[in-house]
Copies of this chain bind each other. A is one copy, B any other.
Amino acid sequence: MKRAARIDLRAYLADARQLAIDEIRRFVPAGDPCGPVLYDLMLDYPLRDAKGLRPALCIATSRALGGGLEAVLPSAAILELYHNAFLIHDDIEDGSEQRRDRPTLHRDHGVPIAINVADGMLALALEPLLANTRVVGVGKALRIIQTVAKMSRETAEGQAIELAWIRAGEWNLTDADYARMVLKKTGWYSFLAPVTIGAIAAGADGAKLDALVEMARELAIAFQIRDDVLNLGAAGPYGKETNGDLWEGKRTLIVLHMLRSLRARDRAAAKELLALPRPSELSAQLDALVAAGDLTPRGRAKLERSGRTKEEADIARLLAWIAQTESLAYARGVGELHARRAREALSRAELRPSAHHELLHALVEFTTTRDH
């Protein structure tokens, strides 16, 4: 039974993703009339091996509430477009090197082109949102645009919270600080907006909508915690850099728990390691120049602003502390707690039995058990 549901989930996700991509292709002009660095690149991230989670969640919510596919499809596609645009800017802001097993867009094409491609995607997404008035009527279309506005604002706020922590060197953070940031930074566009917009398209509100939004909120936190867990020592089909969160110095639930659990001296040492910048391409070049006798160690120290950058040994030390404080187990436990709450909220929505309702259940399970 459980196994059957998981197989269905994969097929449902793949279908939803394909529907969204077909829809996106309808409004992204082919042949790139403005040169090769705009419209073609808009499909770069969406066509990489993605899960299709957001369109699936939007479609399943809407259809589980009795809505039709046609009414929700443009919105589901727009959410996928926003998601991928946010990822492009996010990857630049976080200094991420890989996305879905390939170099990030700014590493492939440079920061200027990558910034602009995402801006173009956000601009383009406004047009089908407006055309939606003809699909779902003016009232619903305006409420959907309102939700997209809220989602975009929450995303920028979440990003700002994290960037402010980095700038201030802030590590003294609670699980609640973490949850607030996560809900804003990725939770809104990944879970709250897809569920809310699916419900609006189906014409649902009141207690049903409240319960589903609650489910989305809990699912968002559970999903991000699972992401944090998978990022550590990741092997297999995950698509991000192994231990990338530690290299980037991210405030994950695991790292925050580790810091709280260490003795003061180790905590201070761990913070120092986490805050070190990752080695840049420059670092490798400098090493080579010193080895060739073209650069003195004093010159090297001047060029490497930080004094020193993270090394494999630092990551190993952080991983040892994480093991010592059992922070991975802790994070898994908190993730399961949020998944349970998501399950309970879904029950409170009292949806009628349907394949789409089952899909929502399967999504909740997937969130805490996924390995990619």
Contacts and interface: CB of A to CB of B under 8 A. Distances in A.
Contact of A120 (B36, B145, B160, B295): B160
Interface stretch (A17-25, A110-118, A204-212): A110-118
A9 to B, nearest CB: 32
A7 interface: no
A294 interface: yes
A170 to B, nearest CB: 9
Contacts of A95: 112
A173 to B, nearest CB: 12
Given A149-B123, A164-B35, A159 B89 contact: no
Which residue among A116, A119, A164 has the maximum number of chain B CB atoms within 10 Å of its CB?
A: A119
A231 interface: no
A130 B145 CA distance: 8
A152 B152 CA distance: 16
A320 interface: no
Interface stretch (A57-65, A298-306, A307-315): A298-306
Interface residues of A, number: 58
A224 to B, nearest CB: 18
A38 interface: yes
A162 to B, nearest CB: 9
A174 interface: no
Contact of A299 (B111, B133, B152, B295): B295
Contact of A289 (B163, B164, B299): B299
Contact of A157 (B34, B93, B163, B294): B34
A37 B163 contact: yes
Copies assembled: 2
B130 A115 contact: no
A327 interface: no
A126 interface: yes
A116 B92 CA distance: 10
A200 interface: no
Contacts of A352: none
A195 interface: no
Interface in A77-121: 89, 92-95, 111-113, 115-117, 119-120
A38 B294 contact: no
Contacts of A145: 126, 130, 145
B160 A34 contact: yes
A181 to B, nearest CB: 9
18 contacts: A34-B157, A35-B163, A35-B165, A37-B160, A93-B112, A94-B112, A111-B111, A112-B163, A116-B156, A116-B159, A119-B152, A127-B149, A130-B142, A133-B142, A289-B295, A292-B299, A294-B296, A294-B302
